[in-house]
């Protein structure tokens, strides 16, 4: 018998979602050629049947095709699911060319996203990346207008620093911050997580499995297809994959004790950090979806967490998250 999916609240907002969400980006682009649309519609619907009610997309994924896919897949379940999407990139001729969070642009994106998602209201609308040319107060104000008009329910930020978070939150309360966080990307722990806790903001880690690395299915001989985004990432060079393997060895030891997979331990570790953290692992395969969902019921004891912490603290992760040109705010 399947266990019922637990739910979590994103901070003080009252927005309740399944403990494990589903990141949909890879169903349309970024990790090699996209699978057939009908297969991905079936996968998203299978996720709903298995208790997932929190789906993550963005206009920039594709661009546009991912929102259309998510909209089509979730039409039959509209009242049962929470769809998060994002604004803030400038898209020209089907390509992402910098950022644009001017208020009038945010409002145009909202209208277009509503149509592609086939919904009357966007549940959670994130600024995809901070725009250095637009004061964050203006961004928060534009989303507040959309909330007052009934077109958006909740406001979110992605990869924002604490000053930006505080300034935005003062104008329009933020429901969630979405940033990269996993056992091999732990930068949010220092000041971001304490700030979110103080302000009552939920946290949605993207790439919670380290873009596949934390599944334990890669080594220095792993190669990626020519259109795979990971070819450009410093952490996926053969040298880095080899150097970072000790983190996988650690996860595998814990996984054996728990009768779980490496990926499940990586996800269970995230869930154990705070009750208001909701990871959104992406996948294009049903067996992986089931595996990821299974992580929500794995209990890591304080002892397990101490062991992981102690071993992880001795491992130096090789390679930056993004190449330098992407670190400046255009990474996905």
Place of tokens 């909202």: 110
Q: Tell how many helices (H) and how many strands (E) occur in the chain.
A: 12, 11
CA–CA dist 111, 142 (Å, integer): 13
Active site residues: 61
In whole angstroms, give the CA distance from residue 218 to residue 177.
29
Torsion of Cα atoms, 93 then 97 then 278 then 199, to 10°: -130
Q: How far apart are CA 126 and CA 78, in angstroms?
A: 19
C-alpha distances in Å from residue 22, one per residue of 25, 52, 55, 166, 230: 9, 7, 5, 27, 20
Give the count of alpha carbons within 13 A of 313, CB side only. Answer: 6
Those residues whose C-beta lies under 8 Å from the C-beta of residue 75, and which sit 6 or more positions away, are 118
Pairwise CA distance, residues 13 & 16, whole Å: 9
DSSP β-ladder status, 152-158 and 174-180: parallel
Write the DSSP assignment of 304-327 as a string of letters: HHHHHHHHHHTPPPPS-SS-HHHH
Work out whether strand 89-92 and strand 95-99 pair parallel, antiparallel, or are unpaired: antiparallel
Distance (Å, rounded) from C-alpha 210 to C-alpha 234?
13
Report the C-alpha gap between 146 and 117 in whole angstroms: 16
> Phi and psi for 328 in degrees, rounded to 5?
-80, 20
């Amino acid at each position: 018998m399947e266990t019922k999916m637990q739910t979590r609240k994103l901070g003080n907002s009252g927005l309740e979602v399944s403990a494990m969400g589903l990141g949909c980006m890879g169903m349309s682009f970024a990790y090699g050629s996209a699978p057939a649309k009908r297969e991905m519609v079936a996968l998203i619907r299978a996720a709903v049947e298995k208790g997932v009610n929190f789906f993550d997309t963005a206009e920039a994924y594709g661009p546009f095709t991912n929102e259309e896919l998510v909209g089509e897949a979730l039409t039959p379940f509209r009242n049962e699911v929470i769809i998060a999407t994002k604004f803030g990139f400038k898209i020209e001729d089907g390509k992402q060319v910098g950022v644009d969070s001017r208020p009038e642009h945010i409002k145009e994106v909202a209208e277009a996203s509503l149509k592609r998602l086939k919904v009357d209201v966007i549940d959670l609308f994130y600024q995809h990346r901070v725009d250095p040319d637009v004061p964050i107060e203006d961004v928060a104000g534009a989303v507040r207008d959309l909330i007052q008009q009934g077109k958006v329910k909740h406001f979110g930020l992605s990869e924002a620093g604490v000053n930006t978070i505080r300034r935005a939150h003062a104008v329009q309360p933020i429901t969630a911050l979405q940033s990269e966080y996993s056992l091999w990307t732990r930068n949010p722990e220092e000041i971001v997580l304490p700030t979110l806790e103080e302000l009552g903001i939920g946290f949605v880690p993207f790439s919670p499995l380290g873009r596949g690395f934390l599944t334990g299915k890669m080594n220095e001989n792993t190669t990626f297809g020519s259109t795979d985004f990971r070819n450009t990432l410093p952490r996926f060079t053969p040298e880095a994959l080899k150097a970072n393997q000790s983190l996988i060895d650690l996860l595998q030891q814990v996984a054996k004790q728990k009768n779980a997979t490496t990926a499940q331990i990586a996800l269970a570790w995230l869930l154990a950090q705070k009750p208001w953290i909701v990871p959104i692992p992406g996948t294009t395969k049903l067996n992986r979806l089931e595996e990821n969902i299974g992580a929500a019921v794995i209990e890591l004891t304080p002892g397990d967490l101490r062991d992981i912490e102690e071993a992880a603290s001795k491992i130096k992760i090789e390679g930056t998250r993004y190449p330098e040109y992407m670190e400046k705010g255009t990474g996905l």
